[in-house]
Amino acid sequence: MTVNERIAMLRQYMAEKNIDVYVISSADFHQSEYVGAYFRARAYMTGFNGSAGTAVITKDAAGLWTDGRYFIQAEKELSGSEVKLFKMEQPGVPTVEEYLDSVLPKNGTLGFDGRSISVQQGNNYAKLFAYKNVKIAYEYDLVDLVWTDRPALSEHPVFFLEEKYTGESTSSKLSRVREIMKQVGATAHVLITLDDIAWMLNIRGRDVRFTPVVLSYAIVMMNCVHLFINEKKLSDEIKSILAKDNVILHPYNDIYDFVKQFDSNEVVLYDPARLNYALCSNIPTNVKVVENQNPCILMKAIKNDVEIANIKNAHIKDGVAHSKFLYWLKNTVDKEVITEIDASDKLEELRAEQEGFLWPSFGSISAAGPHAAMPHYGATPESNSVIEPGNFYLSDTGGNYWEGSTDITRTYAVGEVSDELKRDYTLVLKGNLALSASRFLYGCTGQNLDVLARQFLWQEGKDYNHGTGHGVGYLLSIHENAARFNWKKLEESMRPLEAGMVISNEPGLYIEDSHGIRIENEVLVCKGEKTNFGQFMYLEPITYAPIDLDAIDPTLLRDDEKLLLNEYHQKVYDLVSPHLTEEEKIFLQKYTRAI
Amino acid sequence: MTVNERIAMLRQYMAEKNIDVYVISSADFHQSEYVGAYFRARAYMTGFNGSAGTAVITKDAAGLWTDGRYFIQAEKELSGSEVKLFKMEQPGVPTVEEYLDSVLPKNGTLGFDGRSISVQQGNNYAKLFAYKNVKIAYEYDLVDLVWTDRPALSEHPVFFLEEKYTGESTSSKLSRVREIMKQVGATAHVLITLDDIAWMLNIRGRDVRFTPVVLSYAIVMMNCVHLFINEKKLSDEIKSILAKDNVILHPYNDIYDFVKQFDSNEVVLYDPARLNYALCSNIPTNVKVVENQNPCILMKAIKNDVEIANIKNAHIKDGVAHSKFLYWLKNTVDKEVITEIDASDKLEELRAEQEGFLWPSFGSISAAGPHAAMPHYGATPESNSVIEPGNFYLSDTGGNYWEGSTDITRTYAVGEVSDELKRDYTLVLKGNLALSASRFLYGCTGQNLDVLARQFLWQEGKDYNHGTGHGVGYLLSIHENAARFNWKKLEESMRPLEAGMVISNEPGLYIEDSHGIRIENEVLVCKGEKTNFGQFMYLEPITYAPIDLDAIDPTLLRDDEKLLLNEYHQKVYDLVSPHLTEEEKIFLQKYTRAI
């Protein structure tokens, strides 16, 4: 079927249900950052494959809204179909809401699959068009009727994470969640976010590419947990483990009917930013609700001692892979042709050799020369470049280990690079060192500290257009945003940094068509001394991989900065060298030498 | 009359009006930071003279709430009366609200002078006690009936600030205010904050100690301004100036009846954080209101070119006074006894010699040795200490000039001071230099940059328990808080820094019973270069007074910091030395030498 044929069929179903306008989002039912193949309904209906976009289908028009990252791709992929591209935030281009307002008739009906729309978004639609008495039909997944060869929902088996990895039993986590439920007067807590459910129940899966989560919904009651999941995914062993904590199993989609049956005595806690519109709408109006952030978000962000020890081990493994990689790169690049994909394959291979490695924690960014100026570049067979001397090679990769998820970026000088490139590299490095070395009063946020990482670039009128850091999950989401380093006002950048949080420290610099730099270490937030002036906190870098000394201009580093770099490199050598060959050790010694 | 007799009489009036509990605040009718003698009702009724406190009088009890700064003073001043001290934020001590709840009977009446209570506070009371049907009586100033020898309201004459000082005519300011009124759909704008009114109408007065404001209320209409003011304060000349902008005069207190007559077609803009409860309550409920920040707040914070040039001149004068003061201090302190009051008198005398000086912009802080460890210490005849060698002397003072208000703190080494003291001083200086030298993207706030001033102290587990900086008015409030440097979440610290704002940069360090340090320069927010990465901004220090080199440990300064200090001192010398005697010049040259 062509896209136009799909749309024509969708319009028939819209007519059957008396729906005037139908919206198709890019989301799954769980507000996930990455979604499985089953959930790519918007891509199926429009032909546009980018990760972000919203489609609107009316009786006689079809539109696709996406942002600047995707204009070129969308134009290409939409050509030949009736779908019109709406370039978001361009002058004169209406927003989705403005467009809906212009096409929705009085007393009309707006339809969407309410499972793929957030509560805020759904409420916003309902409120915006109330003035012309527009009805909301959120119950129909019309794309499902058109998409006859839709991929099945993932049935990947669930595995259990033992206490030697998690440091805390499911029952302990549940009792902490229930403690908070009591504090806010709730008797039931509805959870749809996959990483929160996985963390709380100490289960993992592979239903989403990279992120080891399990497609499921959960409702925590005071004496049991209702888990909505395809039972095929659960071995008898897992079932018996879950049963110990009184986890009651239900079919995946049954939660929508289940919440309709809530007794009017229940008080339901949910996070309005992390619930879908259908689920929220199905809770009977006579049931009292408490809207609050999911208690699991802060709990899972604060790693316990067992997790911290494990995470450090995972980072040593990452450091070993990176040291071997650097050895290979520096010794091979002038002898053989190495492409971006060759290099990321090599690094993945070296990581895969590490004990306890499962799979990558996100899609590798492997970018040579000017490609590195695109912060989110992903090499494809078409774009795949050779790593050439005289520029940088940027590698942003991560691993999922039993002992946690990692995220590390290194930028390497290939051959000799110019003084200008070294200067840029050193400015980025100075920011990374300054943030890592910061000490601060308890209560400080990522918004307070971000300037430390940017100050040297800002002095020269330069900047990087992304946050300085994001939280990292434990064998979970690589972007676990309970806290961030970002000077802008965001919920997460305004949260006090708590001991046990693991956050990335990744300043960069991107010069279009020329070069790109990013240096990323993860840092652990630690409790420092308590003085007369208050409780002090500090950051400990827990990524252990050499920062390429060939790329640095040492004359731009102050003595205290050299000391920080040298201390860091000494630690890298001490932790990593025992796992290397003699030859690699000598190499690493050189690349972690004091400067 | 004793305090107890005053309270007894108040209770008679309470009984007459059927008021069960009466609250007396410390505020004037304008939410001012400093209040005139007329408004010290709480002090009159309780005997407690501190600047912050709330009194609650019931039929058989009287309480006074104040904060930690005043516990000792309040205990002393309340002794002998029936007023019981409630130490705020101490364990087991109820808040005012909790106490009110415990003493207010069902269907009872809570009374207060609604002119001295903010909208938020009044609404909060009404909401908190609605459950027991408590009525609010806000119309009665019962203290006025008791206080027969109450000081009169100030009748100080108003003076006009010409355009050579303000850089903008009243009519231009009014049209900018009206532009914003149009944007929010308002037809009337009610203003009670004295600095906003003074700025908007280019008038000044002396109704509050230090702050050159005029007791008045204003309502801006689209074609006129209603000004509520004691007409005796206005000369014929001022009246005719005001008449040109169609300013219509009314008696001071008439605004309360005036707003009752608002036509139901009016749309009234007011700032709920800057309005009193009585005025708000008197606006008829059928009049539409728009709650927004006063437009004048941001407008007056952004100084225009004329104001900036004037302010810099005022700071040169301040710099001359400070250079002469330093010359005197360093040459006299080992020969004569100098007390804290002697020193602040001397500095005021030197400032008063400057052309265009009017009066001090706030009460001097003149603190020797351990006294300087109290950030808000004010020397009294009882506390007045001799400035002794071996410690610091801290001076935090300011002037109101025709050309603007200044606020400057210098900390001087008296004789030789220990290495420990020099170390502390140098850490504070490093923070001051780092903040002043910062460059940042437009959009940054004081919350983002504050860490630059604290970083060196925080590295050593030290801190100062106050913000790093506040806005400064133009011949107006010395704390003009449209923007602040403060790492904590405050409305003002979260506002983007705009070119033309003048903010203090005043890190400090206070070691109890030992010493105190604060180094305060005002800085001007400036627009820097626009690069591919965005619009950059920077700060320009506009205070021109030597920072005592005798107090610095140069070994703790990096080369780039020395350069910043040397450049600053060179500028001080260049601007100030033309106004000094030859001997003073030689002295200043030494005290501004490159290190």
Q: Between B440, B458, B558, which is nearest A458 by CB?
A: B440
Q: Rounded to a whole number, what is the distance in Å from the CA of A90 to chain B's nearest CA?
A: 19
Q: Between A440, A461, A462, which is nearest B451 by CB?
A: A440
Residue B441 forms contact with A (CB below 8 Å): yes
Confidence label for B230 from pLDDT (cuts 50, 70 and 90): very high
Residue A481 has pLDDT above 90, yes or no: no
Q: Between A450, A528, A529, which is nearest B448 by CB?
A: A450
Burial class of residue B269 in the structure, from the number of CB atoms within 10 Å of its CB (0-12 exposed, 13-18 middle, 19+ buried) = buried
pLDDT tens per residue across span A389-399: 999 999 999 99
Q: Are B509 and B427 in contact (CB under 8 A)?
A: yes
Give this prediction's pTM. 0.93
In chain B, the residue whose alpha carbon lies closest to the alpha carbon of A510 is: B533
Q: Rounded to a whole number, what is the distance in Å from the CA of B262 to chain A's nearest CA?
A: 30
* pLDDT recorded at residue A277: 97
In chain A, the residue whose alpha carbon lies closest to the alpha carbon of B495 is: A489
Q: Do B458 and A449 touch (CB under 8 A)?
A: no
Q: In what order do the strands lie in the sheet with A534-541?
A: A439-441, A534-541, A521-531, A502-505
Residue B251 forms contact with A (CB below 8 Å): no
Q: Do A448 and B487 touch (CB under 8 A)?
A: yes
Residue A70 has pLDDT above 90, yes or no: no
Q: Rounded to a whole number, what is the distance in Å from the CA of B510 to chain A's nearest CA?
A: 10
Q: Are A493 and A446 in contact (CB under 8 A)?
A: yes
Sign of the dihedral through C-alpha B204, B207, B211, B216: negative
Judging contacts by C-beta atoms under 8 Å, the chain B residues touching residue A488 are 443
Residue B589 has pLDDT above 90, yes or no: yes
**Cα gap B29→A256, rounded to integer Å:** 56
Residue B476 has pLDDT above 90, yes or no: yes
Cite the DSSP H helix spans in A158-294: 163-166, 170-183, 194-201, 236-244, 255-258, 277-282
The mean pLDDT value of chain B amounts to 96
H or E stretch covering A7: helix A3-16
In chain A, the residue whose alpha carbon lies closest to the alpha carbon of B529 is: A461
pLDDT tens per residue across span A178-229: 999 999 999 999 999 999 999 999 999 999 889 999 999 999 999 999 999 9
pLDDT tens per residue across span B333-357: 999 999 999 999 999 999 999 999 9
**Cα gap B433→B439, rounded to integer Å:** 12
In terms of Cα–Cα distance, which of B511, B218, B536, B544 is closest to B354? B544
Judging contacts by C-beta atoms under 8 Å, the chain A residues touching residue B512 are 532
Residue A488 forms contact with B (CB below 8 Å): yes
pLDDT tens per residue across span A489-500: 999 999 999 999
Q: Do A487 and B531 touch (CB under 8 A)?
A: no
State the amino acid at position A124 in one-letter form: N
pLDDT tens per residue across span B260-284: 999 999 999 999 989 999 999 999 9
Judging contacts by C-beta atoms under 8 Å, the chain A residues touching residue B440 are 451, 454, 458
Q: Which residues pair with A220 in a beta bridge?
A: A189, A225
Judging contacts by C-beta atoms under 8 Å, the chain B residues touching residue A450 are 448
Beta carbon pairs, A and B, within 8 Å: 74
Higher pLDDT, B69 or B114: B114
Q: Do A448 and B448 touch (CB under 8 A)?
A: yes
In chain A, the residue whose alpha carbon lies closest to the alpha carbon of B511 is: A532
In chain B, the residue whose alpha carbon lies closest to the alpha carbon of A441 is: B458
Residues 522 through 581 of chain B touching chain A, CB cutoff 8 Å:
528-529, 531-534, 536, 558
Q: Chain B interface, mutation test: which of A451, A497, A512, A555, most B Cβ atoms within 10 Å?
A: A451
Q: Rounded to a whole number, what is the distance in Å from the CA of B520 to chain A's nearest CA?
A: 21
Q: Are B391 and B368 in contact (CB under 8 A)?
A: yes
Report phi then psi at B81, rounded to 5.
-110, 170
Report phi then psi at A40, rounded to 5.
-85, 50
Q: Which residues pair with B135 in a beta bridge?
A: B109
Q: Rounded to a whole number, what is the distance in Å from the CA of B269 to chain A's nearest CA?
A: 25
Number of CB atoms found within 10 A of residue A27's CB: 21
Q: Between A438, A444, A463, which is nearest B441 by CB?
A: A463
Residue A33 has pLDDT above 90, yes or no: no
Phi-psi region of A404 (alpha: psi -120 to 50; beta: other; left: phi over 0): left
